[in-house]
């Protein structure tokens, strides 16, 4: 993919991708793992090296990882193949996301924001499916690009017909960053 974001992320993963494979899954995912089914289909959006998706695959879910970085996905795929995990990956620009309706049991999205994905995620989840989402919230420090930061309350409001299991906006300790978290279940129509 000849895209400026792809080039930037590929360069990052060339520099430190192997080390990123050692990162733990996001704490929010671990905290709500008991709600995740032992089988089914999960989407890891903006997966990077797919530490979160690998966690789900090790639990028995078939994971589809999407990211703009081919370098990151190659690292993730090699690891999944070594462990014989149910894992697929595709290089994808999530700003133009299209997904099948009522297909996924779980969708995870960490530290990536593309507002156009909100309605796509809603229709792509099966009834009873979970969305686990965490990304950055705009704070007084973050004035560079509002496209990369949520407004207060925006994440929860983006999924109005979902059963909210967890919603929180919090400061990340020892930083000036603030995140918004959401764990929600798609209710039956």
DSSP notation for 95-160: GG----TT-EEEEEEES---TTHHHHHHHHEEEEEEEEEEEEE--TT--S-GGGSBPTTHHHHTST
- What SS3 state is found at 14? helix
Strand partners, 125: 104
- Give the pLDDT of residue 13: 66
* R_g (Cα) of the chain, nearest Å: 16
What pLDDT digit, counting tens, does each position of 111-124 carry?
Answer: 999 999 999 999 99
pLDDT at 5 (0 to 100): 76
CATH number, domain with residue 27 = 3.40.50.150
Please give the angle made by the CA atoms of 66, 177 and 154, to the nearest 5 degrees.
65
Of the candidate ranges 6-10, 50-54, 59-63, 66-70, the one whose mean pLDDT is the lowest? 6-10
Question: Does 1 score more than 60 pLDDT?
Answer: no
Q: How confident is the model at residue 40 (pLDDT cuts 50, 70, 90)?
A: very high
The contacts of residue 69 (CB under 8 Å, 6+ apart) are 6, 9, 10, 12, 13, 48, 91
3-state secondary structure of 61: coil
Q: Is the pLDDT of residue 125 over 90?
A: yes
Tell me the pLDDT tens digit for each residue of 5-37: 767 765 776 677 677 778 899 999 999 999 999
| Parent domain of 76 | 4-186
DSSP class of residue 26 equals: P
pLDDT at 7: 74
pLDDT tens-digit readout, 100-110:
999 999 999 99
* C-alpha dihedral, 74 to 88 to 49 to 118, nearest 10°: 130
| Total number of residues shown for the chain | 189
- Asked if 46 and 24 count as a contact pair (C-beta separation under 8 A), the reply is no
- Quick one: pLDDT at residue 29? 98
pLDDT at residue 165 tops 90:
yes
């Amino acid at each position: 993919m000849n895209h400026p974001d792809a080039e930037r992320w590929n360069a990052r993963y060339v520099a430190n991708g192997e080390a990123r494979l050692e990162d733990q899954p996001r704490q929010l995912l671990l905290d709500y793992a008991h709600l995740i089914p032992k089988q089914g289909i999960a989407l890891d959006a903006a997966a990077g090296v797919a530490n979160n998706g690998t966690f789900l695959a090790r639990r028995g879910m078939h994971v589809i990882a999407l990211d703009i970085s081919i370098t990151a996905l190659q690292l993730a795929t090699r690891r999944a193949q070594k462990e014989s995990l149910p894992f697929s990956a595709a290089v994808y620009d999530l700003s133009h996301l299209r997904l099948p309706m009522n297909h996924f049991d779980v969708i995870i999205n960490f530290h990536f924001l593309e507002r156009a994905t909100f309605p796509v995620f809603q229709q792509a989840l099966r009834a009873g499916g979970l969305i686990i989402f965490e990304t950055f919230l705009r704070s007084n420090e973050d004035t560079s690009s509002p496209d990369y930061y949520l407004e207060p309350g925006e994440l929860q409001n983006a999924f109005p017909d979902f059963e909210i299991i967890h919603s929180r906006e919090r400061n990340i300790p020892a930083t000036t960053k603030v995140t918004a978290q959401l764990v929600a279940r798609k209710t039956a129509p």
